[in-house]
């Protein structure tokens, strides 16, 4: 199981700067415009790639436990899903009152167990999520400086998110330049948060902050025909 330490919610996107006032008609100022994919740049930075490799080793026990438990829960939920589907098929289009009650009970049990599985996996994933958040926060601390350096060194007046541009030539993409700046400013990071550290620089006991997204819990597919009340 490969751990992905990046998520769009964890990164601040590059902000567009306003166009300068128009110069006199006789001397129109030509502005340099570029686009950048911040998330991609962070993910390709030396600090991030090295951290990913280190996490595969340092958190191997957590990863193995999470993978094994996720597989077991997926199997359990699949069995419950199949049993519910089989019961619904056997009941036919006009189930009896007893069959309706049984189907509703099975469906409620499936939903409850799926929620429990998600909570359990999130708990198991917490050390990994905390490490990912710590890595991102260290890199993110230099992101503004890196963006500023890209604009200054390349005389860029307007820097846009790549996703916000309708179309652009490949030469307008300065993502690789941002990677270079991040590598220079933050060549490496730690994957071990300090004791009590929480995302956003909070310490344990402070107001909770959302952690990095946990892996998707085993999803229970809604039966083809949900039991209906009379």
pLDDT of residue 77: 97
Instruction: Let me know if 228 is exposed, middle or buried by CB neighbors in 10 A (0-12, 13-18, 19+).
Output: exposed
User: Distance between CA 115 and CA 218 in Å, rounded?
Assistant: 9
Mean pLDDT in runs of 10 for the chain (230 residues)? 47 37 45 91 96 96 96 97 95 92 96 97 95 96 96 94 86 94 97 91 46 36 41
Q: Which residues pair with 202 in a beta bridge?
A: 198
Instruction: Determine the pLDDT at residue 6.
Output: 52
pTM of structure: 0.67
CB distance 87 to 106 below 8 Å:
yes
pLDDT at 157: 93
Say if strands 202-203 and 197-198 run parallel, antiparallel, or are unpaired: antiparallel
Please list, residue by residue across 145-171, b when 16 or more beta carbons sit within 10 angstroms of its beta carbon and e when fewer do: ebbebbbeeeebeebbebeeeeeeeee
Q: How big, in percent rounded to 5, are the helix, strand and coil portions of the chain?
A: 60, 5, 35
Per-residue pLDDT at 30: 60
Apex 165 CA angle, 163 and 167, nearest 5: 115
* Beta carbons of 51 and 57 less than 8 angstroms apart: no
pLDDT in the model for residue 139? 97
CA 179 to chain centre: 20
Give the pLDDT score at 19. 32
Dist CA 64 CA 53 (whole Å): 15
Domain ranges for the chain, please list them: 32-146+160-186+213-221
pLDDT at residue 47, rounded to an integer = 97
Residue 66 CB contacts under 8 Å (≥ 6 apart), including other chains: 1, 121, 124, 125, 128, 215
Whether the CB-CB separation of 36 and 161 falls below 8 Å is answered with yes
- As a whole number of angstroms, the distance between CA 33 and CA 155 comes to 9
Contacts 24+ apart (CB under 8 A), 162-171: 162/35, 162/36, 162/37, 163/37, 164/16, 164/35, 165/35, 168/35
What pLDDT sits at residue 162? 87
């Amino acid at each position: 199981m490969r751990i992905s330490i990046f998520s769009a919610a964890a990164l601040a996107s590059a902000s567009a700067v306003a166009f300068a006032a128009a110069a006199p008609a006789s001397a129109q100022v030509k502005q340099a415009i570029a686009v950048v994919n911040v998330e991609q740049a962070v993910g390709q930075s030396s600090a991030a790639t090295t951290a990913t490799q280190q996490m595969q080793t340092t958190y191997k026990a957590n990863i193995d436990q999470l993978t094994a438990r996720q597989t077991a829960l997926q199997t359990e939920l699949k069995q419950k899903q199949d049993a519910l589907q089989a019961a619904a098929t056997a009941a036919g289009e006009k189930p009896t009152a007893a069959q309706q009650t049984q189907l509703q009970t099975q469906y409620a049990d499936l939903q409850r167990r799926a929620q429990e599985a998600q909570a359990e996996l999130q708990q198991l994933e917490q050390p990994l999520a905390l490490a990912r958040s710590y890595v991102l926060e260290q890199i993110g601390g230099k992101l503004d400086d890196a963006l500023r350096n890209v604009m200054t060194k390349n005389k860029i007046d307007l820097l846009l998110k790549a996703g916000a541009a309708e179309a652009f030539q490949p030469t307008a993409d300065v993502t690789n330049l941002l990677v270079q700046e991040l590598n220079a400013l933050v060549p490496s990071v730690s994957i071990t948060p300090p004791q009590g550290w929480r995302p956003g620089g909070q310490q344990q006991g402070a107001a909770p902050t959302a952690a990095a997204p946990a892996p998707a819990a085993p999803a229970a597919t809604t039966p083809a025909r949900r039991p209906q009340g009379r």
